[in-house]
Amino acid sequence: MQKRAYFGLYIVIAVLAVLPLVVPNSFYLDLAIRMAINAVIVLGLNLLIGFAGQISLGHAGFLGIGAYASAVLPTHFGWHPLLAMGAGAAITGLLAAVLARPIFKLKGQYLAMATLGLGIIINIAIRNEAAWTGGPDGMPVPAMGLMGFELTSDKHWYWVVALMLSVSVWASINLIDSPFGRALRALHGSEVASQVVGVDVVRYKVAIFVMSAVFASLMGSITAHYVGFVTPNLADFFHSIELVTMVVIGGMASVYGSLIGAVLLTALPQALATFEGWETVAFGAILMVCMIFMPKGLVPTLAAKFGKGD
Amino acid sequence: MLAQFLQFLFSGATVGATYALAALGFTLIYNASNVINFAQGEFIMLGGMLAVFFAQSGLPLPAALVLAILIPAIVGIVVEKLAIEPVKGAETVTLIIITIGASLVIRGLTAVFLGKGTHSLPAFSGDTPIEILGATLMPQSLWVLGVTAVVVVVLWYFFNRTLTGKAMLATSYNSLAAELVGINTSKVLFMSFAMSAALGAVGGILVTPITLTSYDVGIMLGLKGFVAAVVGGLGNGLGAVVGGLLVGILESFGAGYLSSAYKDAIPFVLILLILFFMPRGLFGARVTDRV
């Protein structure tokens, strides 16, 4: 199990290393960076949804907190971008930790409702506090830098996110195989049974929720600095849904499924841009068809078909 | 003071009635299949947009309204047949994504064929406001509230006094047991989609003269309908109606007395508070999980 899991990681690293040599132009490099950013968020979200079996329909809200911390704190208070990023992650972690206990008393549809509501409230707050956030128009984000070196070119950003993605994949594989990961899978299987054998169900749910929220917040900060501009769309309901869709299309409880889901759904809108006016219809239809024919997601379905474990 | 209070109450109850119809739609489908239909809001939008389209293309208003209810009902049936029935029993997240896919398709097709403009319908019986203790009530508000009341009574009769309605209720309690006594549960599923799409469309049509409509109004209306359904306790018909009115009225008071900018956030703050303290909504049954 362990060996095979690491085999996948080596492939990911190899692809990431070769990719900048083969991408034809900066458009594709940009696409690759956004895929990698989404992949990290989706890895975190998949730990929550796929492994622990808890839904979040509000993750874009956490992403928005990170992004706006990186925009607002350096602009209005002159904070260092790294400090702002840390502050964003801390605020998100705290918010998630405080809300997680009452939220995770809920199950299924009620949990979906609560997380959805939380995300929407965050988005509305960002839209309304125009004096700080620029309102619906968004605001520019200062460049990220450290000791006189400014991260500006896409090449630099590529290596930063490639490193983050490799570390996240490595961390996910290890986490899943740790006692923590086994506890998560146990509580997905049966909460009562795992409680009986001594798993502190609530503590694990809270921990994984906070962790995936902090992942999203950090990547929100990265997105903000990379793009150089933030808008409330980053934190809206539709973006939350996109992230969940990446998890499910790729395959729940599958590390590599998360990567595939993020890559496909980041590329899809670009590919659909040729369908002028029909993009939304095509996107919706593809979601439905994928889910109807592969309710378990791409990677687990294919893995089952070719008789290999994931 | 009183006039202002009444004014907020009237406008809140009017919008709340639409939420109540949407919440009833959520409830019907949830009871028949345990699916949260995220496309519910699109049926509301579709009702309003189609009514505008048919009215503008010269049909007499009653005919336009009938078509604007029938077509969403057919769309509901198509969604159920093509997308929900094949994946019976799939995980909640999978079902949520399927219904969201359906909502994108409906919204996208509406934008392609009916355009992205904002539209309105003429009020059904004029625009002369009625004065009540200094507050004004638009005749269209009476239409919204009246039709909602009629719908609720008809639904009550349907579920308590007709065989088909009772079959649907039985399925919602225990679909396996219902099947064993000879109820055709797949017909129940199909009917629940048609009915809830029609309910949504009715709400969308009624409220269009007041709030206007466009291809993208369905998202917020649908989400607030979902809030209303959960406030009342998912699966509870009476709860859905009370939840809808409550959400509408509190939203209107919040916008009036607290902050109009945060109007759209009010239902979601409300639902978080309710879920934190009453995890199954106001009227949700106390259930113990079987292991």
* CATH number of the domain bearing residue B6: 1.10.3470
Chain A residues within an 8 Å CB radius of B289: 192
Any A CB within 8 A of B283 CB? no
Nearest to B269 by CA among B235, B227, B209, B206: B227
Q: How far apart are the C-alpha atoms of A143 and B71, rounded to whole Å?
A: 52
Q: Is the pLDDT of residue B288 over 60?
A: no
For A78, phi then psi, to 5°, come to 70, 25
Higher pLDDT, B166 or B88: B166
Instruction: Report CB contact under 8 Å: B264, A120.
Output: yes
- Closest residue to B262, CB basis, from A128, A285, A288: A128
In a domain, B72, yes or no: yes
Residue B263 clears pLDDT 50, i.e. is over it: yes
Q: According to the model, what pLDDT value does residue A2 have?
A: 54
Least confidently predicted of A9-18, A71-80, A198-207: A198-207
Model confidence at A309, in pLDDT bands (50, 70, 90)? very low
Q: Is B113 an 8 Å CB contact of chain A?
A: no
Domain range enclosing B170: 2-277
Beta strands in chain B (DSSP E): 130-132, 135-137
Using DSSP's 3-state secondary structure scheme, residue B216 falls into coil
Measured between CB atoms, does B279 come within 8 Å of chain A? yes
**pLDDT score, position A218:** 96
What pLDDT is recorded for position B139? Answer: 92
> B154 or A3: whose pLDDT is higher?
B154
Contacts of B276 in chain A (CB under 8 A): 102-103
- The whole-number pLDDT of residue B143 equals 94
pTM of the model: 0.89
The number of folded domains in chain B is: 1
Q: What is the mean pLDDT of chain B?
A: 90
Give the confidence band of B174 by pLDDT, cuts at 50, 70, 90: confident
More confidently predicted of B279 and B30: B30
The DSSP symbol for B59 reads -
Helix, strand, or coil here: A296? coil
Tokens of B235: 């699966």
Average pLDDT over residues B169-190: 89
Q: Each residue of A245-294: pLDDT tens digit?
A: 999 999 988 999 999 999 999 999 888 888 878 888 988 998 899 889 98
Distance from CA of A295 to the nearest CA of B (A): 6
* A66 has a pLDDT exceeding 90: yes
Task: Determine the pLDDT at residue A304.
Answer: 84
Kindly state the average pLDDT of the residues B37-64.
94
Once rounded to an integer, what is the mean pLDDT over residues B46-63? 94
- B291 falls within a domain: no
- pLDDT, mean of residues B191-216: 94
Which residues, listed in sequence order, are joined to residue B213 by a DSSP beta bridge?
A: B119
Predicted local confidence at residue A214, as pLDDT: 96
Query: What pLDDT sits at residue A94?
Result: 96
Tell me whether residues B108 and A292 touch, CB distance under 8 A.
no
Average pLDDT score over residue span B182-204: 93
Residue A30 has pLDDT above 50, yes or no: yes
Tell me which range, A49-53, A112-116, A296-300, B105-109, is most confidently predicted by mean pLDDT.
Answer: B105-109
pLDDT tens readout for residues B126-143: 888 888 888 889 899 999
Mean pLDDT, all residues of chain A: 89
Residue A310 pLDDT class (50, 70, 90 cuts): very low
Tell me whether residue B288 is in a domain.
no
Percent of chain A with pLDDT over 70: 96
Domains of chain A: which residue ranges? Answer: 37-240
Range A28-46 average pLDDT: 95
| ipTM for the whole complex | 0.87
Amino acid A160: pLDDT:
92
Percentage, residues of chain A above pLDDT 90? 56
Residues contacting A152, CB < 8 A, separation 6+: A143
Q: B105 to chain A: which residues are within 8 Å by CB?
A: 280-281, 284-285, 288
**pLDDT interval class at B286 (50, 70, 90):** low
Tell me how close the Cα of A284 comes to any Cα of chain B, in angstroms: 4
Bridging pattern class, strands A229-230 and A149-151? unpaired
| Residue B224 at interface with chain A, using a CB cutoff of 8 Å | no
- Across the range B27-43, mean pLDDT stands at 90
Asked whether residue B77 is domain-assigned, the answer is yes
In angstroms, the Cα distances linking B282 to B22, B228, B248, B265 are 18, 10, 16, 20
Q: Any chain A CB within 8 A of the CB of B262?
A: yes
B residues 56..95 contacting A (CB < 8 A) = 82-83, 86-87, 90-94
Question: Which chain A residue lies closest to B81 (C-alpha atoms)?
Answer: A292
Q: Is residue A29 scored above 90 in pLDDT?
A: yes
Residues of A in contact with B92 (CB under 8 A): 55, 108-109, 112
Specify which of A222-226, A282-286, B186-190 reaches the highest per-range mean pLDDT. A222-226
pLDDT at site A110 = 82
Beta-bridge partners for A149: A146
